Amino acid sequence: MPEPVDRPATNRGPATGATTLARSTGGPDRRPDLAADCWFLSGPTASGKSALGVRLARELGAEIVSVDSMAVYRGLDVGTAKPTGEQRQAVPHHLIDVVSPAESYSVARWLADAAAAVAACRRRGRQILFVGGTPLYLRALRDGLAELPGEDADLRRQLAAEAAAHGSARLHVRLAAVDPVAAARIHPHDLKRIIRALEVEQISGRPLSHAFAPEPHPVFERQFFALDLPRAALHERIDSRVERMFAEGIVEETRAALDAPGGLGPTAVQAAGYAEAADLLAGRIDRAEAIRRTQQRTRQLAKRQLTWLRSFKGAIWIPA
């Protein structure tokens, strides 16, 4: 699923309106308290994390904490490939179906919710298995959140207006000039994240990609597992999954979300398949094109996930 960008708080002086630095969490680092009872399983989309996670959790005597930025949305089931009801019955899962699709859900909020879930597992004497492939969540879990500038509404309006006039690709080119690392990770059509990256650079004078101050937890060096499989096999799995999504109701699921109060919010609409289903419903593309685009976006996502996962130097890679 797409990689969300945290939306830190904005602190403005009452007279000047100047933007100041605010910690993303709005306070102290609120990462879960990681210890030897914490295990991690990740991998690219469609690599089989959910099924293996259940098997591993049962072996460990663990409960699962989802590390998936789209599984938090209620009602978005087909397109997010959530664990099945049978899997959730076999092993307790946390941080699934947390908010409505109309809401934004930040990495800071996920960290706080994950900390509460970890504490609850420990009270029950259970191990904790983090399962999922959202790189930003994994990095925040490992490194914590650095101080980032708050939002600047005027600058955001200016950048949005420029994108409306000339396209998001133009802003992406500008981002590549000042922060090539962030630009490589952000899709040229992901306007929300492009604007945030440019905002951080312009306000702080530092690229967003340099904003995190790594303080990796040693448990990641011992207990982090990543699934891998040949590219051709992964692409075949992705293409088959997308075809099943459209056969099993992602279009109807998208229609229901769009018709609900608030519709699809700015984060949920980024998930591969939902934007394409919305375009299909609006008559802008046909079904075949919606499937093709979703397959392409999902393959791109898998490539980005694998790139991110390779930054976990202690990861134990296992064949999927």
**pLDDT(285) > 80:** yes
Max intra-chain CA distance, the chain: 59
Mean pLDDT to the nearest integer, 175-195: 90
pLDDT band (50, 70, 90) for residue 313: confident
Instruction: Identify whether the C-beta of residue 8 lies closer than 8 Å to the C-beta of residue 148.
Output: yes
Q: What DSSP designation does 154 have? A: H
SS3 (DSSP) at 267: coil
Least confident stretch, 20-24, 56-60, 67-71 = 20-24
Angle at 49 between CA 220 and CA 316, to 5 degrees: 35
pLDDT at site 254? 96
pLDDT at site 212? 54
All structural domains of the chain: 38-146+213-228+306-319 (3.40.50.300), 151-210 (1.10.20.140), 231-305 (1.10.287.890)
pLDDT at site 29? 52
pLDDT at site 147? 66
pLDDT digits (tens, 9 = 90+) for 14-30: 222 222 222 333 334 56
Query: For residue 42, what are its two tokens?
Result: 């990740």
pLDDT at site 18? 27
Least confident stretch, 61-75, 140-154, 303-317 = 140-154
- Give 284 or 26, the one with higher predicted confidence: 284
pLDDT at site 220? 82
Mean pLDDT to the nearest integer, 36-61: 96
pLDDT digits (tens, 9 = 90+) for 80-130: 999 999 999 999 999 999 999 999 888 889 999 999 999 999 999 999 999
Mean pLDDT to the nearest integer, 208-224: 73
Mean pLDDT to the nearest integer, 172-201: 90
pLDDT digits (tens, 9 = 90+) for 237-255: 999 999 999 999 999 999 9
pLDDT band (50, 70, 90) for residue 10: very low
**pLDDT(12) > 50:** no
pLDDT at site 189? 87
- Work out whether the CA dihedral 300, 303, 307, 309 comes out positive or negative: positive
Instruction: Identify whether the C-beta of residue 212 lies closer than 8 Å to the C-beta of residue 185.
Output: no
Instruction: Identify whether the C-beta of residue 50 lies closer than 8 Å to the C-beta of residue 81.
Output: yes
**pLDDT(1) > 80:** no
What is the pTM for the complete model shown?
A: 0.75
Mean pLDDT to the nearest integer, 257-275: 90
